[in-house]
């Protein structure tokens, strides 16, 4: 008797052939958009246009139209900035780190995650420009020659670190995403009927012919880029966290910030990937490729990173108490019981308690539950940034200068606008680029579960 190891759950369901994959991946591009797509697109576009209006109003009137005041001089703008940078983390992680670890389940989801990274970083990049107030001085952040005055007007500014981190991150992510798309562009080029489409995809595919040499180079470039992108996952959010950690404000001046921000970023990024994938899976009928197993794997990562974030919160509270520094202790007591207690407890419930439900297999494999949790987690992560920034600032050493922050309609409008912009980009991407890396998926079709076994059994039967 020969012992068989149990067959793994197939990563592609529904008896697909190679041709079926090509047809299914090309379908959203070649056919008319479903009604659900148009509805989602219209809503996003309206939000985006409203956001543009608010941004133009801010640039015209000045930062005074925001809810900032002399005590809370950083608020929604930085909260949103850090939130968007965080969301951009999952894409590169899914692609680069899981590629290096040879995880096959990343193949259905990596393309959308990488696109999400790029679109989220675009949203984040808007904020440093706007919150300068004088957008026409934005060139201050670039290394301009000395004829313009001194090189890098304020080299000590943490915003300058953000410029380095984000531009590096954006460019590596963009190249990584584009290189992965080349074989798929070639597939679309070969299928295109309209000459103009054929021409555009022809230019985009760089003359890809699928030769062995092409694949070899493709593999090499992917690995090199993955190797470059992996440290970036860690460095970018570490640098963003140092915007806070290098100041001496109680509640910010903490050495735990870098690892805790990185875990939080991966946590919120994976939640956003879940949200987008579940929408796309339904809209473009991709159930055969984005299976329950993919969703479960992602939920496990959300659960693990959520637990790390939970440990970081508890560590912060413990260290504040243990330090014996009354200002530090007050900062944390004020977070939990002060006027912003509702934001603190929302953050705790969304980020620490809700992911723990994923320990139950029934819940982490439920689509509806996953969709709700993915949104809850991102609300919680937004509150985390808000709590760190606003509650640490709104009460300082002088009770006479204590104040409350409340956002104006412009703050809210800009934030909603960035969400709209993000979805506009994502929905357009889903209609003009292959949302699934079909060339990579075909590499796992053969080894995918039952089909492979049937073939083997047939071969054994014949002998």
255-305 pLDDT, tens digit each: 888 888 888 888 888 888 888 888 888 777 777 777 777 788 888 888 888
Q: What tokens were used for 427?
A: 């929905």
- Spell out the alpha helix ranges (H) of 72-211: 76-87, 89-92, 98-100, 110-131, 158-191, 195-204
Q: Are 254 and 319 spatial neighbours (Cβ–Cβ below 8 Å)?
A: yes
Q: In the prediction, which pLDDT does 149 show?
A: 60
Residue of 125, 167, 123, 119 lying closest to 143 (CA atoms): 167
Rg, Å, the chain Cα set? 24
Residue of 395, 242, 381 lying closest to 313 (CA atoms): 381
Q: What tokens were used for 311?
A: 């440990």
Q: In the prediction, which pLDDT does 4 show?
A: 58
Distance CA 392, CA 380 (A): 18
Phi-psi bin for 68: left (phi > 0), alpha (psi -120 to 50), beta? beta
* Segments in the chain below pLDDT 50: none
Phi-psi bin for 285: left (phi > 0), alpha (psi -120 to 50), beta? left
* Residue 91, CA distances (Å) to 98, 269, 434, 450 in order: 10, 7, 16, 30
| Chain centre distance of CA 440 | 22
In sequence order, what DSSP letters do the residues of 336-377 get, joined into one string?
HHSTTHHHHHHHHIIIIIGGGGGGSHHHHT-HHHHHHHHHHH
Q: What tokens were used for 336?
A: 């939990």
Q: Is the pTM of this model over 0.95?
A: no
349-391 pLDDT, tens digit each: 888 888 888 888 887 788 888 888 888 888 888 888 888 888 8
Q: In the prediction, which pLDDT does 92 show?
A: 79
Work out the angle at residue 382's Cα, subtended by the Cα atoms of residues 386 and 170, and round it to the nearest 5 degrees.
110
Catalogue all structural domains in the chain, each as residue range(s) with its CATH number. 18-143+157-448 (1.20.1630.10)
């Amino acid at each position: 008797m020969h012992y068989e190891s149990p067959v793994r759950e197939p990563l592609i369901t529904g008896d697909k052939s190679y041709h079926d994959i090509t047809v299914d991946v090309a379908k959203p591009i070649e056919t008319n958009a479903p009604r659900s797509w148009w509805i989602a697109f219209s809503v996003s576009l309206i939000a985006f246009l409203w956001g543009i209006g608010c941004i133009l109003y801010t640039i015209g009137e000045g930062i005074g139209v925001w809810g900032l005041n002399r005590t809370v001089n950083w608020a929604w703008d930085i909260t949103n900035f850090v939130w968007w940078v965080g969301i951009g983390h999952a894409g590169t992680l899914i692609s680069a780190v899981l590629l290096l670890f040879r995880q096959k389940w990343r193949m259905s989801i990596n393309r959308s995650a990488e696109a999400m990274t790029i679109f989220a970083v675009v949203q984040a990049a808007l904020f440093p420009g706007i919150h300068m107030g004088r957008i026409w001085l934005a060139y201050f952040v670039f290394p301009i020659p000395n004829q313009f005055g001194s090189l890098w007007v304020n080299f000590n500014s943490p915003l300058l670190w953000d410029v380095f981190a984000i531009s590096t991150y954006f460019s590596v992510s963009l190249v990584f995403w584009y290189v992965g798309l080349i074989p798929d562009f070639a597939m679309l080029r070969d299928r295109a009927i309209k000459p103009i489409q054929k021409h555009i995809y022809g230019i985009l595919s760089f003359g890809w012919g699928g030769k062995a040499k092409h694949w070899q180079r493709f593999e090499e470039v992917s690995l090199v880029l993955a190797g470059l992108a992996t440290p970036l996952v860690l460095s970018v959010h570490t640098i963003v966290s140092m915007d806070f950690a290098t100041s001496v404000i109680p509640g910010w001046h903490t050495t735990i910030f870098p690892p805790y921000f990185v875990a939080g970023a991966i946590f919120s990024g994976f939640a956003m990937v879940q949200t987008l994938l579940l929408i796309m899976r339904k809209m473009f009928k991709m159930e055969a490729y984005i299976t329950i197993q993919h969703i479960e794997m992602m939920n496990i990562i959300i659960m693990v990173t959520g637990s790390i974030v939970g440990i970081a919160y508890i560590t912060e509270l413990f260290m504040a108490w243990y330090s014996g520094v009354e200002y530090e202790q007050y900062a944390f007591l004020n977070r939990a019981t002060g006027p912003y207690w509702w934001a603190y407890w929302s953050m705790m419930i969304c980020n620490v308690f809700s992911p723990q439900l994923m320990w139950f297999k029934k819940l982490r494999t439920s689509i509806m539950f996953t969709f709700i949790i993915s949104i809850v987690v991102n609300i919680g992560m937004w509150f985390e940034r808000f709590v760190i920034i606003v509650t640490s600032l709104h009460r300082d050493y002088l009770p006479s200068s204590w104040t409350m922050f409340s956002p104006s309609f412009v703050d809210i409008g800009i934030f909603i606008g960035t969400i709209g912009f993000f979805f506009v980009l994502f929905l357009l991407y889903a209609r003009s680029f292959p949302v699934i890396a079909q060339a990579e998926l075909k590499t796992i079709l053969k080894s995918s579960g039952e089909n492979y076994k049937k073939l083997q059994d047939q071969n054994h039967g014949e002998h």
